[in-house]
Structure 1
Amino acid sequence: MSENSFGAADPLMDKDPWALPATHGIQNLQSSVLEDNNWSSYNSNDILASNFAAMNIDRRQENGSELYHDQSAASSDPLANPESLDAENQEEVDLKEDSVWSEELVSSFNPLGYHNTEDKTIIRVKEIPEKEGLVFKHINYLISHNLRFPPEFYQNDKPAGSETKIIRRYSDFAWLLEVLWRKYPYRLIPELPPKKLLASSTDSIFLQKRRRSLQRFLYQLSKHPILSKENLVIMFLTVPNDFSNWKKFANIELTDEFESIKINLPKRFKMNFDQVLRGLNDQDPDFEEQTQVPEQTVNNDSIVNNITQIWNENPVDHTKLDFMENLQTVNLSLSTFADIWSKLCILVERMEKRELALYQDHQRFSYYLGQFTSNSGNLYGIENMVISEAQPEESQNMSIINTILKQVMKYFTTTKQLKDDELTTLSSDTLENFRKLQDYLASLHFLIERLGNFKNASEKQIHVLLNRIMKTNERLFQIKIKSDIRGSEVDKLVKLLTESVEELNNLLSYIILVKSTFLTEFRLFQKTKYLVSETFQDWFLEKVKYGELQQDSLQRVFNDLQDMPLK
């Protein structure tokens, strides 16, 4: 029995006994996006792992190891007094500005095709027949597009409306994907098709699907409002043919997109240690023991609780702790939706293949009908065996029948050609529209996967930092009780406390940025529902178009058949 995307048997998807008996099985009719209908094997690729090792790129979203970030995210002095009301209001202004920026980003995104967009983007990826390489042959792809970039990205002036043509290898696509993973780990990054199918990469059907998937990869990049403006993406689409040589000598920036972004950490996450630090310096007044719990300690306990709940906080309303619950709901729905859509893609191909089998019988019928008309004269036209006054009329009627039967032959030949044309459009346009949405579903799935990996690793690091901060704070409090202890140990503890709080603030700032970015990307994804509208509109537009042509052909042959003699 067939298995769905997640291993469950699906009796409805068993091999159809009426499917076209082609030389390849049903698995070859599946979309090239979700090979084997499995998230885990989606576009898996050996070259990615090897290139990561060569480039020393840390895929922290997957391995969850060290999460320290060198970005200069603004973190206020952890030892300073709580900020004034004006500073808090300034934070709100910053959040509003970020919200406005996100609105512009979302409004500029349009995932639809050429006829439903204003930019009229055209990207074509064609396979160059001649393979290169001395020992290991590889395929080159000719990429042509009409995207426009600033003049500094071109060696020569580009006339308006002209196309840019470049040559790239599959490994160049893989390199670009690695770079995007490194710089934009929390964006909707499109996935690449696998480099090989099982042990061989020469299967013509696989190579055709891979070429189309590479074309969709570039389309999705060109649609994204952030990734499309990334310099390395632009260079990939503009550098002349020797791209491998360019990569060797180019000064490639691989820093995280958040490295230069500064945010004001909300007050609810800022811990204050004035109470424990007061009096540790010589110029500070002597510490007097207090039997009551300092008010600041109570405040820090509340802040620690806020910090531990940072992943549950809703990015829109931090008073609601439903972010992870909502994310889990989305992820479960995404898995179900992707599985259903994958089956729809398979069934569209299967239905059309079945229709093709029917129309191949039209062609066979036309052939044998031609054989019938060629041999009918031997049976009905031997005049010396039948002598009748009506013989001339009988011969004429047989001629009329054969003439009209030739129109029937033409009808069946025409309908077969129309179906071939319709299936060509289906393969190049309609099914590609189905797979566009499938690509976005896969992008969201792997984005959520990277987000989940980062969440798990960051929560562990938050736990480690909070423990270190609390223990250091407790140690300093004990030192204050023992007034004879001063000097280097105090300096070390103060430095450790300061650095730990700063590292925690940087991590919290990064988490806020990641969640905000994910929210923006998820809002971009919401627009992909219009791909459903476009897909079905275009599909049935073609069905109506070719249905009318088929109907016209049928009406003509029907009218001709009325002239066939009955006596």
Structure 2
Amino acid sequence: MGEPFLKKWRQAEENIQFIIDKWVKIIILVERYERRQQQISFDNGKFAEMLNGFSKLNTKIYPDNEDNNNSTRNDVNVNVVVVDNNENYKQDFDFNSSGDIININQCLNSIGEFFNKSSQVLIDESYIINTKTLEKFKNYLDYLNSLQELFERTKQLSINQIDLLDKRIKDQEIKFKKISEENPDIKGGELIKLRQSIINDKQEIFQQLNKDWLIKQCCLQEFIIFQETQFLITELWVEWCKDRLKCQEKLVGLYDNLNQEIIHDMPLER
């Protein structure tokens, strides 16, 4: 395992927590954005409700001549004075006999229908985002957390006593040499113990080096596998954009139909 990999490993380990923090905030923003869309959907429903109520009441301040004609016909048998009064009343409201308020209210109903349809579009889009795309955002966060756990697990498993054992071997070898030189005829006892201790420590170093190598190889493989998760970033954002585009295309279609209708049918003047 070369130094370039170890350098990249250290860089990843140093930055993983910052990356996790950023992604958590991205998820929060996505959720907040969807809540705003849901609120817009709710407001659209209120728009339709208020417009419906307004169109039912506005004829009280913009009376149409049709109602006055009905009233006049009902009074056909009254005396001449009353008839004359009705005629004057009718003439007073001849200025509004064009039926403009009826056309306006019909267009207001169309606008209310637009808000109802756009509300449903936003609800459907929000459902898709929350049940499918948002889950992929959270799944990617799980992968980031798994990588962080890999770093922590590696630290724990990589703890060894190689440096301590190496120092002890050197000290024992010096001691062994000193005793051998000062007491060339000495046998058994301390020299045998020293020699066995040196052998045991070297074997322990060998085992720990093997363990360290295996740990690094496993970490390398997991880190290589993790690299595939970068494509999840592409997948979830492409999916998010496609769903948004579908929603916007539906809304644009609704706006276009509404625009064509009110431009041609909604009076601006007499």
Normalised by the shorter chain, which TM-score bucket? 0.7 to 0.9
Matching of residue 564 in structure 1 with residue 266 in structure 2:
yes
Match of 1:124?
none
Q: How many residues align?
A: 245
Distance in 2 between residues matched to 1:387 and 1:555, nearest whole Å:
40
Matching of residue 364 in structure 1 with residue 40 in structure 2:
no
Distance in 1 between residues matched to 2:5 and 2:244, nearest whole Å:
43
Match of 2:77?
none
Secondary structure in 2 matching 1:528: helix
Shift of 1:393: 5.6
Match of 1:69?
none
Q: Residues 323 and 526 (structure 1 numbering): CA distance in 2 closer, same or farther, change over 3 Å?
A: closer
Distance in 2 between residues matched to 1:474 and 1:425, nearest whole Å:
73
Q: Which runs of 5+ in 1 are unaligned?
A: 1-314
Distance in 1 between residues matched to 2:231 and 2:222, nearest whole Å:
16
Shift of 1:378: 3.4
Letter in 1 for 2:110: Q
Distance in 1 between residues matched to 2:203 and 2:239, nearest whole Å:
55
Matching of residue 473 in structure 1 with residue 173 in structure 2:
yes
Match of 2:235?
534
Q: Which has the larger radius of gyration?
A: 2
Letter in 1 for 2:266: M
Matching of residue 394 in structure 1 with residue 98 in structure 2:
yes
Match of 2:136?
433
Match of 1:343?
25
Secondary structure in 2 matching 1:387: helix
Secondary structure in 1 matching 2:187: coil
Matching of residue 547 in structure 1 with residue 251 in structure 2:
no
Shift of 1:368: 0.5
Match of 2:195?
494
CA RMSD of aligned residues (A): 2.6
Distance in 2 between residues matched to 1:367 and 1:326, nearest whole Å:
59
Match of 1:62?
none
Decide which structure has greater helix share.
2
Shift of 1:358: 3.1
TM-score between both structures, scaled by the size of structure 2? 0.79
Matching of residue 445 in structure 1 with residue 127 in structure 2:
no
The Cα offsets for residues 277-328 of structure 1, whole Å up to 9 and x where unpaired, read as xxxxxxxxxxxxxxxxxxxxxxxxxxxxxxxxxxxxxx1x3xx4x6654433
| Contact 2:37–2:126, Cα closer than 8 Å, also in 1 | no
| Contact 2:51–2:108, Cα closer than 8 Å, also in 1 | yes
The Cα offsets for residues 244-295 of structure 1, whole Å up to 9 and x where unpaired, read as xxxxxxxxxxxxxxxxxxxxxxxxxxxxxxxxxxxxxxxxxxxxxxxxxxxx
Q: Which runs of 5+ in 2 are unaligned?
A: 72-85
Match of 2:83?
none
Shift of 1:475: 3.5
Secondary structure in 1 matching 2:51: helix
Q: 2:58 aligns with which of 376, 391, 401?
A: 376
The Cα offsets for residues 461-503 of structure 1, whole Å up to 9 and x where unpaired, read as 1122213322333333334433322224444333322222222
Matching of residue 409 in structure 1 with residue 112 in structure 2:
yes
TM-score between both structures, scaled by the size of structure 1? 0.40
Shift of 1:428: 1.6
Distance in 2 between residues matched to 1:377 and 1:390, nearest whole Å:
15
Distance in 2 between residues matched to 1:391 and 1:323, nearest whole Å:
87
Distance in 2 between residues matched to 1:422 and 1:324, nearest whole Å:
45
Distance in 2 between residues matched to 1:445 and 1:371, nearest whole Å:
57
Secondary structure in 2 matching 1:486: coil
| Contact 2:114–2:258, Cα closer than 8 Å, also in 1 | yes
Match of 2:78?
none
The Cα offsets for residues 488-544 of structure 1, whole Å up to 9 and x where unpaired, read as 444433332222222211110111111111122111222211111111100000001
Secondary structure in 2 matching 1:394: coil
Q: 2:122 aligns with which of 411, 414, 419?
A: 419
